[in-house]
Amino acid sequence: MPEDPILAETRALREQLMNEVGNDLDALFTYLKKREALHPERLVSFPPRYVSSISTAKESATATSRPEKTGG
């Protein structure tokens, strides 16, 4: 199977970033948060969505499930 060029580029960039921060995830997190602060206009946030109740969520899941076949 041929290698996907987008995946190859993504993996190369990941490796480059990790090398820059010495393969330290905490340092990577700090680095990325600093980059976020430089460009706040690029961030997207959505308001939280709350579940009204657990039973409603279960009922909703049951209502969307496939109905059983009867006779036929």
Q: What is the DSSP string of 4-65?
A: PHHHHHHHHHHHHHHHHTTT-HHHHHHHHHHHHHH-GGG---------S-HHHHHHHHHHTS
Asked whether the beta carbons of 36 and 43 are under 8 A apart, the reply is: yes
- The whole-model pTM stands at 0.52
| Digit-coded pLDDT (tens) for 33-64 | 999 999 989 888 899 888 887 765 556 666 55
| Digit-coded pLDDT (tens) for 5-26 | 999 999 999 999 999 999 999 9
In the chain, where the domains are located: 1-41
Identify which of 69, 67, 49, 48 has the alpha carbon closest to the alpha carbon of residue 57.
49
